[in-house]
Structure 1
Amino acid sequence: MKKLLYIFYSLIISKIPGGNNSIGKSFRRRFQRLLGITLGTNAVIGHHTIISYHVLDKLVIGNDSGVGPYSYIMGTGKIIIGKNVICAPKITFVTRWHEIFYDKNGEKINIQKEGGITIGDNVFLGTNVTILPNVNIGEKSIIASGTTVYKSVPPNSFVRGAKMVMDRLEG
């Protein structure tokens, strides 16, 4: 039954537009709770947000927080979003992915990475931010638009961009 509700939600309910105090927002919110998502008071998941079936009962959004429209929440790990968190549109939360590289002998290595994501209280995530597995973002931090967050961020931080960490062929 839950899988059927999920399919109905994904195909129809999640696409109902509506801002604050709208019927669409209220309807989406009720359906999200039915699917097992934990939503705090005034918590919102924007329209056209895609949520992976395996994340449903592992997604917790705190009071007065919101995930902007057209976001993508996927994987199998737990995602906890604190209180008073603002997520602009098109945020991507990834709790499971594959790192593919070649060793010194030219052999392809495929490592699966999996882990939860925790966003502290009073955090702002700009448009098109991507958060990868095993990341904790400390409270009162700001993540600039277009940033890929691949490691944890201490409280009161400002993060922008993404840089090369190592040469895949040498590292």
Structure 2
Amino acid sequence: MRKTERYKVEGSSSLWQIYKTVSFWKVAKCFIVIEIARIMPFLAVKNWMYRRLLKMTIGARTAFALKVVPDTMFPERITVGSDTIIGFNTTILAHEYLIEEYRLGDVCIGDRVMIGANSTILPGVTIGDDAVVSAMTLVHKDVPAGAMVGGNPMQVIYTKEQRQQQSTEKS
């Protein structure tokens, strides 16, 4: 189960009530910053924008590829470790607005993680150090450190121990 906080709403759907949960001006600022960062070719500038303007926690030498979309409403709930690569067109969500409730959850991505292109990471997920997420994966639950995962729904392809065993057999 993902680690999310649940907030019930009454009346119209939670998305229709969005500006009761987050400021319009915050969403507008985040949207503008993210759209500029999506096409920013300079990784250091992009990381500076995420850290300083969106209050995300980003480790040293982390690389966000072109077109990555961090959460536009709660980017401060995203933490990414050092030496991590987030692949092209990946979406990292820290919120989900449903019919009768909305949910918020921290996303924690470890050090030396590789996330393949076109993946989606849902709120409340932790991806452990040295994990590999294959392209087009829906990360709907925690990823153990060192594991390789993929698919929709996500499944563990190799555990850390299996990956280490493969490496030693090839040597």
Alpha-carbon distance in 2 for matches of 1:8, 1:151:
26
Equivalent residue for 1:78? 77
Q: Which has the higher contact order (CA 8 A, sep 6+)?
A: 2
User: Root-mean-square deviation (CA), in Å?
Assistant: 3.1
2:128 match = 138
Is the partner of 1:36 in helix, strand or coil?
helix
Counterpart residue type for residue 69 of structure 1: L
Structure 1 residues 85-127: Cα deviation after superposition (integer angstroms, max 9, x where no partner): 0111111000000345xxxxxxxxx331211100011100000
Structure with bigger helix share is: 2
- In the superposition, the TM-score normalised over structure 2's length comes to 0.62
Q: Could you list the runs of 5+ residues in structure 1 that have no partner in the other structure?
A: 38-55, 101-109, 165-171
Identical aligned residues as a percent: 27
More strand by share: 1
TM-score, length of structure 1 as denominator length: 0.62
Alignment of structure 1 residues 45-64 onto 2, 5 Å = 56-57=54-55, 59-64=56-61
Q: Deviations over 1:53-99 (max 9, x none)?
A: xxx12x11101111111111113251110011011111100000034
Q: Do structure 1's residue 121 and structure 2's residue 118 form an aligned pair?
A: no
Cα separation, 1, equivalents of 2:143 and 2:104: 18
Inter-CA distance 29–62: structure 2 relative to 1 (3 Å threshold): closer
Cα separation, partners in 2 of 1:150 and 1:64, compared to 1, 3 Å: same
Give yes or no for contact 1:67–1:91 (8 Å, CA) kept in 2. Answer: no
For the residue of structure 2 that corresponds to 1:112, the secondary structure is strand
Q: Which amino acid aligns with 1:78?
A: R
Where do 5+ consecutive residues of structure 2 fail to align? Answer: 1-24, 155-171
On the 8 A contact 2:70/2:91 being kept in 1, the answer is yes
Number of equivalenced pairs? 127
